[in-house]
Amino acid sequence: MMIEKLRELVIEYETEILESSYDIILQKEQSTLKNLNERTFLLNEKIKISDTFTHYVIERCKPSEVSPLRHLVEEYEEQIELFKDNYLDSEEYIMLRNITVVLDLLLGIDISYYSNLYELINQDKIEELIDYFEQNISFRLSYDDIYAIIKGRRLKL
């Protein structure tokens, strides 16, 4: 059920993204960021993801999906803490934004980083990520695996 909702959401966003110019995507992202600094905004995204997982997703997914999803959200939260403490370089920060988009999609949360979604769609990463979730959602999800998929490395699933 979660993967079907993910696919539907991706189709909606792909349609919107592909019908928009990159400038419009950036304008939409800027209106979403609302003049918050990047650190504050990313911390708010972490809270949104954590709360959504805790309060809504557990009720909507299969019991076998709860632990892998919890593990993934916890790994994401650890990366946010590294970012907060200035331990991530610029490439890792961009990947953190990408993974935020992926988690937003998976959990059915509104996307904030439209430019990252735009890039993921144009690089054809979304289908690989959906395949990863579909094959692993019941037993193992990993921040590092998602990072590798986005970087273009093939996983042995």
Taking CA atoms, 108 is separated from 85, 100, 129, 153, 154, in Å, by: 28, 12, 15, 26, 26
pLDDT of residue 58: 76
Check residue 31 and give its pLDDT. Answer: 85
3, 121, 125, 133 from 130: Cα distances, Å: 7, 12, 9, 5
What is the pTM assigned to this prediction?
0.92
Answer whether 142's CB lies under 8 Å from 75's CB. yes
**CA gap 21, 25 in Å, rounded:** 6
Q: How distant, in Å, are the alpha carbons of 24, 41, 77, 78, 156 from that of 126?
A: 21, 23, 22, 23, 17
Q: What is the pLDDT along the chain (157 residues), one digit of tens a residue?
A: 789 999 999 999 999 988 999 999 998 888 887 777 888 889 999 999 999 998 887 778 888 999 999 999 999 999 999 999 988 898 999 999 999 999 999 999 999 999 999 999 999 999 999 999 999 999 999 999 999 999 987 665 5
